[in-house]
Structure 1
Amino acid sequence: MKKMLFLLMIPVSLVSCRDLGGSSDNAGIEKDSLAKVVGIDKDENGCVTSAGYKWSILKKACIRPFEDGIRLNPATEIKAGDPVISAFAVLEEDGNKAELFLPNYKSSVIMERKSEGKPYIKDEWQLLTDKGFTLKKGDSIMYAGAMINEEVITGSDNPED
């Protein structure tokens, strides 16, 4: 009886363990759905756009403009609850170039200035750097440097900690 039970267990164990060897179906995930995983999309420069990366011509690398750039918020009045769609400026270190990342623009805009203290200019765009940052299109102020109110996080509900 023990031999017969043992012989019956061999085929059962072989059938139940067939997927333990790392099958190609990735534990029940369809192959087509693997191509839709967030974070594997890359643009022509290798930047993962779903993670907020964009190619910077000045830095010659994939950057996140909201981390590496200067936030410029719309100069128009924003009502409570409205989304704020910002532009970002990345300045060349020790240089006379600036790179603008504008909403609804597929690629960045490279601006140049003649010397320190002068505005960065490209076509109808001007980035003024005196008294903060102001981005103008023609004579109209479109964006201005964002004011950031950073608070110290202490890990306590008591503000004196």
Structure 2
Amino acid sequence: MKKLVFLFAILISAVSCRDLGGAADNAGIQKDSLAKVAGVDKDENGCFSSAGYRWSVLKKTCIRPFEDGIRLNPPTEIKAGDPVISAFAVLEEDGNKAELFLPNYKSSVIMERKSEGSPYVKDEWQLLTDKGFTLKKGDSIMYAGAMVNEEVITGSDNPED
């Protein structure tokens, strides 16, 4: 009798798990979305886009613009709890190029400047670096930001230390 119950349990398990992909289709879930786990998908350059990596033309490697770039936020007032959609700028070290990572743009925008102190430009975009960073499209300010130097603070919470 115990063998019969055991075989019945195995049969039920095998039948209920035989087609998880079909169950996903019936639930209205795309099979591709089941496979999209952070760090599993790669773009055409080998960057894990689901983990926030994008190909940088300037650095010639995959980067996370929110870690390696300068955050540029919309110049509108931000209320607590509102989502902020930022752009990011990566500047060429000792050079005259900047790379923009803009929301809703699949690839980055490479900008150039004529000399130090002049704005980076590309078509209708201008990145001004005077007193912080201002990104303009035509005459409109689209994003603004500042270079932030984050430092690691070490120590204890004890005020006597």
- Fold conserved (TM > 0.5)? yes
Give yes or no for contact 1:73–1:146 (8 Å, CA) kept in 2: no
Report the Cα offset of residue 38 of structure 1: 3.2
CA contact (8 A) 2:89 2:100 kept: yes
Equivalent residues in 2 for 1:138-157, closer than 5 Å? 138-146=138-146, 153-154=153-154, 156-157=156-157
Larger radius of gyration: 1
% of aligned pairs identical? 88
2:55 match: 55
What's the CA shift for 1:50?
1.0
Q: Secondary structure at the match of 1:59?
A: coil
Distance 1:37 1:85, change over 3 A: closer
Structure 1 residue runs of 5 or longer lacking an equivalent are: 1-27
Say if 2:117 and 2:129, in contact at 8 Å, map to a contact too: yes
The aligned counterpart of 1:6 is none
Give the aligned residue type for 2:103. Answer: P
Give the distance between the partners of 1:49 and 1:143, measured in 2 at CA. Answer: 23
Equivalent position of 1:89 in the other structure: 89
Tell me the amino acid that sits aligned with residue 44 of structure 2: E
2-side partners of 1:40 and 1:147: how far apart? 32
Query: How far apart, in 2, do the equivalents of 1:47 and 1:118 lie?
Result: 32
Name the counterpart of 2:112: 112
TM-score (norm. length: structure 1): 0.71
Structure 1 partner of 2:12: none
C-alpha spacing 1:140/1:46, structure 2 compared with 1 (3 Å):
same
| Per-residue deviation, 1:81 | 1.2
Distance in 2 separating the partners of 1:138 and 1:148: 26
Residue matched to 1:65: 65
Query: Greater shift after overlay, 96-105 or 78-87?
Result: 78-87
Residues 31 and 153 of structure 1: CA distance in aligned 2, closer, same or farther (over 3 Å): farther
1:98-152 per-position Cα deviation (integer Å, ceiling 9, x unaligned): 0000011111000010111000001111000011111111111111115759686
Helix, strand or coil for the counterpart of 1:66?
Answer: helix
Counterpart AA for 1:115 = S
Alignment partner of 1:74: what SS?
A: coil
Q: Alpha-carbon deviation of 1:79?
A: 1.9
CA–CA separation in structure 2 for the residues paired with 1:134 and 1:144: 4
What TM-score do the two structures reach when normalised by structure 2?
Answer: 0.71
Q: Which runs of 5+ in 2 are unaligned?
A: 1-16, 22-30
Structure with a larger share of its residues in helix? 2
Following the alignment from structure 2 to structure 1, what is the Cα–Cα distance between the partners of residues 88 and 95? 18
Match of 1:43 in 2: 43
